[in-house]
């Protein structure tokens, strides 16, 4: 089924990728047929016109007389409406100036009002504070309170100094009274001082009232001015809008009449010219037809050259390889193998924790790349599942082994505490443990070799992908160059100034008027001046530009993918190096542990005659077992759960590659600690 799906996919891809250029060629064929058909139609019209030229002249005098009488009337109407428009434009200019002046007046009034309001607010705050200070001072003096020792004294002193209308003698008297408090002197003249303070309070209260009245009057005056100006602005705005509409209407009317006048004058000139020399016009028609025929033939040659350029077998093969983006932009093709790879990659990563296996990353790199086929990736997945199951089996066996060994060691310890027995069994068990450690060291060494192999395979895959990327750059650049040649060939005919070769002069044809009245029968319809198929060619050139844009997009996308693939490769290299270092460290530690156990065996053999030494050796053996087994017993469930999640994600990825369609359930992620412990 995978082989059939792959073959079908390749066939669909080939058809889809061939379609953009084929579509351009088909459009060029259609344009070629259209130009040929128009040439035949023009020939038929020209033959009718030749017949017309042989029949004689006609009634052009009546048409000329009608035009000559119409022109003065139209000119008079144009002059009248133009004068009205000029006057309205002058009025509009004056209205706009007046409106701007009114707006400026409102703005200036607002600015002045804001400054006055701010000044009043300051004056009001200061005056209110002064009146309150004076009220406190009077109340303190009248109640007999030690006023000169209060904080109000400084405020009264400031008021006395700042008050310009106070007589100098009174100010000096008041300041002297206030100064006596600083020396704790007795001030019996408080009655006179109270009078002075009350008078000051009354004056300041009156000043506040006057300031408030002035503020209210200023605000009312400002509001009245702003209201009047706003009415003026509204009136001017209405006038501007009305007169602007009228100016527009007059402008349209004048333009229409000018067009009518121009058309009438042109028709009059054409009629006079046709009447003066009908034979010359017929000869011009013949010349125009001959030139049209030649130009049409040149156009057909340009189209044929472009078709030949794009329809070449080598060119089609190049476009087939280099225009996947273009094909998709025209046909919206089926789900691609890249999408299947992406879905499989998502399934594979659904349960990844923070510490990835190099083997899993190798599968991810294979899915992201284009070199490895589905069968190869599925085999890699099966191999990885087998590795995970083997590791889990080893964990299960070791857990069982650890449980059994700990029970045996504990029993032995209890037996030795009661009665010392021969240590040969203990020595045998230690030798077995040394053998087990050697097996674990061998397994770690195998893991290191597997990591090195994964690094080698990933490096080879990266080199192949990089070579493919460089080939894509070369192919797409060649395709862009070929499309540029095709576009330039069309531009040489349709838009010579945009072509890279020397500019080609385009013949200019005389437009013969067909405005004929009177006894001369209307001239039969002719093709007129030849018109290049610029609109159709523009569409084809735009399509070529789209294909070039698709190639540019593919080049950009390929560059991004190349950068991402290189980044992932470097990340895998770093992770592989980290894992290799960790495994190497474990090998060293277990080698040291094996050496320690051997030393314990030698010690036990030497001291087996000593009961206490034999008991100590047994305790050390139990300690070693706990050191080696406790972590496995504690994290056995986490390690199993992590492997099950990886096996499940590998199964989902394999199912996707085999044709399944998942909505990828969110898999619970392990914490960084438990996942790391489960992996290591």
| pLDDT per position as a tens digit, 392-416 | 888 788 778 787 877 887 777 777 7
Residue 81: closest CA among 243, 262, 250: 250
Can you read off the two tokens belonging to residue 602? 């030698």
Distance CA 423, CA 618 (A): 9
Give the model confidence (pLDDT) of 26-76 as tens digits: 888 888 888 888 888 878 877 777 776 666 555 666 777 888 888 898 888
DSSP states along 229-278 = HHHHHHHHHHHHHHHHHHHHHHHHHHHHHHHHHHHHHHHHHHHHHHHH-H
The confidence band for 679, taking pLDDT boundaries of 50, 70 and 90, is very low
pLDDT score for 373: 65
Most distant pair of Cα atoms in the chain: their distance: 150
Residues 6+ apart with CB under 8 A from 390: none
Asked if residue 62 lies in contact with residue 517, where contact means CB atoms within 8 angstroms, the answer is yes
What is the spatial distance between Cα 248 and Cα 237, in angstroms, rounded to a whole number?
A: 16
The structure tokens 């000044």 sit at 119
List every span in the chain annotated with CATH 1.10.287. Answer: 62-274
CB 353 within 8 A of CB 675: yes
pLDDT at position 155 over 50: yes
pLDDT at 455: 87
pLDDT (0 to 100) of residue 107: 92
71-110 per-residue burial string, b: 16 or more CB within 10 A, e: under 16:
eeebeeebeebbeebeebeeebeebeebbeebeebbeebe
Q: Picking from 215-224, 362-371, 459-468, 565-574, which range would have the lowest pLDDT averaged per residue? A: 362-371
Confidence of residue 157 (pLDDT cuts 50, 70, 90): confident
For residue 519, count other CB atoms closer than 10 A to its CB.
12
DSSP states of 123-176: HHHHHHHHHHHHHHHHHHHHHT--GGGSTHHHHHHHHHHH-TTS-HHHHHHHHH
Query: What is the mean predicted confidence (pLDDT) over 613-617?
Result: 70
How far apart, in whole angstroms, are the C-alpha atoms of residue 396 and residue 5? 41
Q: Is 428 left (phi over 0), alpha (psi -120 to 50) or beta?
A: alpha
CB 417 within 8 A of CB 636: no
Among residues 550, 544, 549, which one has the least CA distance to residue 495?
A: 544
The neighbour count for residue 133, using CB atoms within 10 Å, is 22
Which pLDDT value is given to residue 440? 86
At 328, is the pLDDT very low, low, confident or very high (cuts 50, 70, 90)?
very low
Q: How many residues does the chain have?
A: 680
Long-range contacts of 568-575 (CB under 8 A, 24+ apart): 568/361, 568/364, 568/365, 568/368, 569/365, 569/458, 569/459, 569/462, 571/361, 572/358, 572/361, 572/362, 572/365, 572/455, 572/458, 573/455, 573/458, 575/355, 575/356, 575/358, 575/361
Residue 516's pLDDT is what?
A: 44
What is each CA distance from 213 to 123, 210, 220, 225, 239, in whole angstroms? 13, 5, 11, 18, 39
pLDDT in tens, 353-388: 544 566 666 777 766 665 556 777 788 888 888 888
Quote the CA–CA distance of 420 and 414 in Å, as a whole number: 10
- The total of other beta-carbon atoms located within 10 Å of residue 202's CB is 12
Most confident of 79-83, 418-422, 594-598: 79-83
What are the C-alpha distances in Å from 80 to residues 235, 256, 257, 654? 28, 14, 12, 87
Q: What is the pLDDT of residue 164?
A: 75
Q: Reply yes or no on domain 62-274 having CATH 1.10.357.
A: no
615-621: long-range contacts, CB 8 A cutoff, minimum separation 24: 615/413, 615/416, 615/417, 615/420, 617/423, 617/426, 618/409, 618/412, 618/413, 618/416, 618/426, 619/413, 621/409, 621/426, 621/429, 621/430, 621/433
φ/ψ region of 329 (left if φ > 0, alpha if ψ in -120 to 50, else beta) reads: alpha
Looking up tokens 């501007």, which residue turns up? Answer: 240
More confident residue, 104 or 537: 104
User: Which of 431, 434, 426 lies closest to 608 in space, CA to CA?
Assistant: 426
CB-based burial of residue 359 (10 Å sphere; 0-12 exposed, 13-18 middle, 19+ buried)?
A: buried
Higher-pLDDT residue of 376, 459: 459
pLDDT for the residue 556: 92
Global pTM value:
0.36
What is the structure's pLDDT at 414? 76
């Amino acid at each position: 089924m995978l082989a059939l799906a792959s073959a079908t996919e390749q066939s669909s891809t080939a058809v889809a990728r061939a379609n953009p250029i084929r579509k351009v060629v088909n459009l060029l064929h259609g344009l070629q047929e259209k130009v040929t058909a128009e040439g035949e139609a023009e020939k038929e019209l020209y033959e009718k016109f030749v017949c017309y030229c042989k029949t004689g002249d006609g009634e052009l005098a009546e048409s000329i007389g009608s035009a000559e009488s119409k022109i003065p009337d139209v000119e008079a109407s144009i002059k009248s409406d133009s004068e009205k428009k000029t006057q309205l434009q002058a009025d509009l200019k004056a209205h706009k100036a007046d409106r701007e002046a009114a707006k400026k007046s409102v703005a200036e009034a607002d600015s002045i009002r804001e400054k006055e309001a701010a000044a009043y607010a300051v004056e009001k705050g200061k005056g209110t504070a002064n009146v309150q200070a004076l009220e406190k001072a009077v109340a303190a003096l009248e109640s007999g309170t030690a006023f000169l020792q209060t904080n109000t004294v400084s405020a009264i002193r400031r008021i006395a100094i700042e008050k310009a209308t106070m007589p100098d003698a009174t100010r000096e008297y008041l300041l002297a009274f206030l100064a006596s408090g600083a020396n704790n002197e007795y001030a019996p003249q408080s009655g006179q001082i109270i009078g002075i303070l009350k008078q000051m309070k009354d004056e300041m209260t009156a000043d506040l009232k006057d300031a408030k009245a002035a503020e209210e009057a200023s605000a009312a005056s400002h509001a009245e001015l702003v209201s009047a100006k706003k009415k003026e602005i509204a009136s001017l705005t209405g006038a501007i809008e009305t007169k602007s509409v009228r100016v527009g209407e007059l402008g349209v009317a004048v333009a229409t009449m000018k067009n009518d006048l121009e058309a009438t004058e042109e028709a009059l000139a054409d009629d006079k010219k046709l009447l003066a020399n009908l034979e010359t016009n017929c000869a011009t028609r013949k010349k125009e037809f001959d030139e049209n025929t030649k130009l049409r033939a040149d156009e057909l040659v340009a189209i044929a050259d472009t078709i030949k350029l794009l329809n070449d077998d080598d060119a089609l093969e190049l476009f087939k390889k280099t225009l996947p983006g273009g094909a998709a932009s025209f046909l919206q093709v089926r789900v691609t193998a890249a999408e299947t790879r992406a879905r499989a990659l998502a399934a594979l990563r659904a349960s990844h924790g923070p510490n990835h296996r190099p083997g899993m990353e190798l599968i991810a790199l294979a899915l992201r790349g284009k070199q490895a086929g589905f069968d190869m990736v599925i085999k890699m997945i099966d191999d990885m599942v087998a590795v995970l199951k083997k590791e889990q089996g080893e964990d299960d066996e070791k857990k069982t082994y650890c449980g059994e060994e700990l029970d045996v060691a504990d029993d032995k310890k209890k037996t030795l505490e009661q009665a010392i027995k021969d240590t040969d069994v203990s020595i045998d068990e230690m030798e077995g443990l040394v053998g087990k450690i050697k097996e674990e060291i061998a397994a770690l060494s195998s893991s290191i070799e597997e990591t090195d192999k994964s690094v080698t395979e990933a490096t080879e895959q990266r080199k192949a992908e990089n070579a493919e990327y460089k080939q894509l750059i070369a192919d797409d650049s060649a395709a862009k160059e070929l499309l540029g040649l095709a576009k330039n060939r069309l531009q040489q005919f349709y838009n010579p100034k945009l072509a890279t070769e020397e500019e080609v002069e385009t013949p200019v044809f005389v437009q013969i008027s067909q405005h004929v009245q009177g006894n001369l029968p209307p001239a039969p319809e002719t093709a007129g001046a030849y018109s290049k198929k610029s609109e159709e060619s523009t569409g084809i050139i735009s399509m070529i530009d789209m294909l070039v844009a698709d190639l540019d997009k593919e080049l950009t996308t390929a560059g991004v993918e190349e950068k991402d693939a290189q980044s992932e490769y470097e990340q895998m290299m770093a992770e592989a190096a980290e894992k290799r270092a960790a495994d190497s460290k474990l090998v060293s530690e277990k080698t040291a542990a094996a050496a320690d156990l051997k030393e314990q065996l030698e010690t036990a053999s030497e001291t087996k005659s000593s009961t206490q030494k034999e008991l100590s050796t047994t305790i050390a053996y139990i300690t070693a077992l706990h050191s080696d087994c406790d972590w496995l017993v504690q994290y056995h469930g986490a390690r199993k759960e992590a492997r099950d999640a990886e096996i499940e994600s590998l199964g989902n990825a394999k199912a996707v590659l085999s044709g399944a369609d998942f909505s990828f359930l969110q898999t619970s992620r392990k914490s960084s600690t438990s996942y790391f412990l489960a992996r290591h």
